[in-house]
């Protein structure tokens, strides 16, 4: 394997732009839980570190450095115990950065403690200090492997100086330990890349599942759930929206005469016509059966689109060799809450059924603010 391929393998997979936010959220979730356990482990191990301090080490190495690690760990626990904003990308990024900085500082202090203890210990005992450090460094890397750049830099800072010192003494056992630690670092770095690939696969699967849950499997349009979610996004902005409900006239006759497979092909053809109008913030969806919807801001979803659809659909040759007509109900509202969906849909639905009752193949618009049973009928010339 060439050095370029090796470095490419260590760099791990690139996260696609449309998955980066979800990947960061999942990474922060993993790191938050693992880092809290890590800091607790540091605190529990510090008494043993102090007890096992080298007899020749000064007070700074024996007590001062463990105290710094204690303070860093306690700070980490406090910062990571704060309530987390679910789905907040900025908060997730802050968690990752906080863990990175605290663990990097802890790794640097640990390296100083290891090298200073090793240098001041008797020959027969000093090899224990880098051995202890290697265990701590690999555990540290394992807990941080959710974020490759964090884990790699912390492992290198933790283990790199110790490996370099051991390899430079000229003593056989020091060199053996340095090589063993270097192999452990290489293994840890490889596992980090593999772990990130697993996380990325999980994010991709979640994204795929979420997309499928919001898509109508027959037509490929958004489904009712996705349309309501889009409505809720409009409601958060407190603006004027328009809903058009489109229903195929006498669709049951098509199924009865040509079969349900042909009926499905008609639905897909109609969906293609509707999708051509789903530009920008306009969402086209299949609400169920032969009923479809277009939702958008009142500014983006011009009322003329309903009339254009009526003409396009009426002129389109369908898979069964005939033309079809549709009835369209339109309703407008200024929305500010998810609860505003039901009234808006009810208004468009009533307008639709008035269009059906008045002869089909036409557009009816619910008059906002008026008696809900009063509708405006499109001009006679628009009827087929």
Q: What is the pLDDT of residue 202?
A: 85
Task: Kindly list the averaged pLDDT for each block of 10 residues, start to end, along the chain of length 384.
Answer: 46 71 85 89 89 85 93 93 80 89 90 90 85 80 75 85 90 90 85 82 84 89 94 92 96 95 97 93 95 95 94 94 96 94 95 93 79 41 35
Q: Which domains does the chain have, with CATH numbers?
A: 3-213 (no CATH), 222-382 (3.30.70.270)
Chain centroid, CA 208 distance in Å = 11
Three-state SS at 287: strand
Q: What is the pLDDT of residue 10?
A: 46
Asked if residues 32 and 95 have their Cβ atoms less than 8 Å apart, the reply is yes
Asked if residues 146 and 193 have their Cβ atoms less than 8 Å apart, the reply is no
Each residue of 253-293: pLDDT tens digit? 999 999 999 999 999 999 999 999 998 899 999 999 999 99
Whether 290 is catalytic: yes
Region of 57 (left: φ > 0; alpha: ψ -120 to 50; beta: rest) is: beta
CA atoms within 13 A on the CB side of 254: 22
Asked if residues 312 and 273 have their Cβ atoms less than 8 Å apart, the reply is yes
Give burial (CB, 10 Å; 0-12/13-18/19+) of 49: buried
Q: What is the pLDDT of residue 371?
A: 45
Q: How far is CA 167 from CA 31, 66, 86, 134, 328, in A?
A: 32, 26, 47, 14, 79
pTM above 0.75, yes or no: no
CA atoms within 13 A on the CB side of 113: 31
Contacts 24+ apart (CB under 8 A), 74-78: 74/39, 74/43, 75/102, 76/35, 76/36, 76/39, 76/102, 76/103, 77/36, 77/39, 77/40
Asked if residues 234 and 334 have their Cβ atoms less than 8 Å apart, the reply is no
Q: Give the torsion sign (CA, 84, 211, 247, 290).
A: negative
Q: Which of 147, 290, 291, 378 is catalytic?
A: 290
Chain centroid, CA 143 distance in Å = 21
Using alpha carbons, select from 327, 313, 314, 324 the residue that is nearest to residue 362: 327
Q: What is the pLDDT of residue 13?
A: 61
Asked if residues 102 and 143 have their Cβ atoms less than 8 Å apart, the reply is no
């Amino acid at each position: 394997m060439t050095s370029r391929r090796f470095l490419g393998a260590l760099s791990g997979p690139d996260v696609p732009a449309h998955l980066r936010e979800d990947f960061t959220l999942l990474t922060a979730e993993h790191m938050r839980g693992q880092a809290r356990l890590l800091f607790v482990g540091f605190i529990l191990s510090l008494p043993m570190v102090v007890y096992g301090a080298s007899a020749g080490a000064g007070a700074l190495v024996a007590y001062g450095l463990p105290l710094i690690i204690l303070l860093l760990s306690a700070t980490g626990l406090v910062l990571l115990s704060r309530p987390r904003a679910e789905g907040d990308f900025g908060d997730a990024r802050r968690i990752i950065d906080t863990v990175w900085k605290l663990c990097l500082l802890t790794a640097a202090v640990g390296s100083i403690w290891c090298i200073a203890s090793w240098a001041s210990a008797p020959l027969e005992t000093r090899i224990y200090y880098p051995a202890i450090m290697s265990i701590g460094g690999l555990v540290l890397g394992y807990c941080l492997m959710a974020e490759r750049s964090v884990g790699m830099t912390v492992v290198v800072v933790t283990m790199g100086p110790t490996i370099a010192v051991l390899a430079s003494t000229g003593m056989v056992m020091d060199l053996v330990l340095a090589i063993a630690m270097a192999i452990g670092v290489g293994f840890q770095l490889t596992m980090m890349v593999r772990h990130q690939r697993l996380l990325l696969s999980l994010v991709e699967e979640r994204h795929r599942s979420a997309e499928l849950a919001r898509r109508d499997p027959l037509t490929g349009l958004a489904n009712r759930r996705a349309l309501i979610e889009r409505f809720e996004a409009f409601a958060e902005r407190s603006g004027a929206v328009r809903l058009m409900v489109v229903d195929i006239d006498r669709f049951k006759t098509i199924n009865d005469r040509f079969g349900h497979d042909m009926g499905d092909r008609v639905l897909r053809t109609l969906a293609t016509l509707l999708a051509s109008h789903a530009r920008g913030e306009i969402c086209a969806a299949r609400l169920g059966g032969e009923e479809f919807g277009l939702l958008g801001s009142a500014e983006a979803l011009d009322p003329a689109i309903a009339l254009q659809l009526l003409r396009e659909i009426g002129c389109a040759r369908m898979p069964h060799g005939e033309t079809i007509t549709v009835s369209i109900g339109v309703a407008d509202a200024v929305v500010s809450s998810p609860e505003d969906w039901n009234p808006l849909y009810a208004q468009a639905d009533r307008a639709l059924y008035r269009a059906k009752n008045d002869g089909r193949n036409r557009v009816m618009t619910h008059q906002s603010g008026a008696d809900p049973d009063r509708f405006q009928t499109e001009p006679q010339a628009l009827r087929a």
